[in-house]
Structure 1
Amino acid sequence: MSDTNTPDPVLVELADAILRVARELESHSVTGAGLKTLTGTEATVLRWVHRNPGCSPSAAAEATGLQRSNLSTALRGLTAKGLVERHRDATDSRQVSLDVTDSAREGIAALNATWSQIMADALGAQSGQAVAAVTVLGLIDDYLRRER
């Protein structure tokens, strides 16, 4: 992190805009995609498991920055909602892998379609700027994960 005492107003506005957009996007998305209501932790875990099928609970906890107890609570909720499955290793029953269910895949596909439509509507002719935005947000995400 920078040692400067004077915040850069543009960078402060960028951080604030990211938080505002994330909040609004999430509220519009769940309604628009017809998904079950998830806690923020459940949504984070579901996204991680979807992007990393077959991951272990330990890997999911580490990657999402969650304590094991919080991850376990989220997994119980996601399992009860029929969105995540646990699979025991055939050769070592102590090993568990996680995957999303077909129902979750359908919900995520609907969510992706909703997100794409919202972004297209919001950006209009500026949609070509999305690649640059994804690059910038990726840099921020990578930095924050390393700093955790």
Structure 2
Amino acid sequence: MDETQKARLFELADLILAISRHLHAAKADAAESWTPLEAAVMRYIDHQPGATASQAAEATRLISSNFSRALRKLEQKELVRREADPDDARRVRLYPTRKAGENLGYLQDAWSRLLDETVPDAAEADAVITTLRRIESQLLDRTRAAADPARKGQGAAR
């Protein structure tokens, strides 16, 4: 990778982090308070209801102690519930609660109002969403491949 591309990709990552901080600050009054780790866990559970704790920990790239702490806090806030896996009672499945759904609605309202002023063009928003989804998917594929050597190279075939 040349220096221009390196600088471009660094700026992309830096901008994503900066935007994330603005979004996190904007949710202060709109929703239940949480840490960035709790947000990562909650986001995964919202997107993958019924996931196991190990799946969620792997996808969020959190070490087990940090993941467990975040999960306990989310349970205390009544945003996540655990249910025994019907196929294997030793395994637990994670689900967002109704309160989590309400919280997500508050976030949707707050963040949509914030971004409506900055990205009013639907086509532009769709293009950015498509690009960010692809980036997230490829990063997740890399994470999984790194954790499981048998999967290496699968993400590149897409």
- Using the size of structure 1 for normalisation, the TM-score is 0.85
The 2-side partners of 1:135 and 1:90 are apart by 35
Q: Contact 1:53–1:100 at 8 Å: present in 2 too? A: yes
Relative distance call for 1:14 and 1:79 in structure 2 (3 A) is same
Counterpart CA distance in 1 for 2:129 and 2:48 is 20
User: Which residue does the alignment assign to 2:111?
Assistant: 115
Which blocks of at least 5 consecutive residues in structure 2 are unaligned? 144-158
Question: Paired residue for 2:56?
Answer: 60
1:83 aligns with 2:79: yes
The answer to whether the 8 A contact 1:83-1:100 is kept is yes
1:98 equivalent in alignment to 2:94? yes
Higher strand share: 2
* Cα distance, 1:90 vs structure 2: 4.5
Match of 1:26 among 20, 24, 27: 24
Q: Secondary structure at the match of 1:95?
A: strand
CA distance in 1, matches of 2:87, 2:133: 38
Partner of 1:107, secondary structure, is helix
Partner of 2:127: 132
Structure 1 unaligned regions, length at least 5? none
1:91 positional shift: 5.5
* 1:120/1:127 contact within 8 Å kept: no
Distance 1:10 1:89, change over 3 A: closer
Q: 2:127 and 2:49 mapped to 1: Cα distance?
A: 28
**DSSP-derived class of the 2:78 partner:** coil
Alpha carbon RMSD of aligned pairs, Å?
Answer: 1.8
- How many residues align? The count is 142
The one of 114, 136, 141 equivalent to 1:141 is 136
Q: Which range moved further: 94-103 or 22-31?
A: 22-31
In the alignment, is the contact (CA less than 8 A) between 1:30 and 1:111 conserved in 2?
A: no
The sequence identity of aligned pairs, in percent, is 37
Shift in Å at residue 130 of structure 1? 0.4
The Cα of 1:96 is off from its aligned counterpart by 0.5
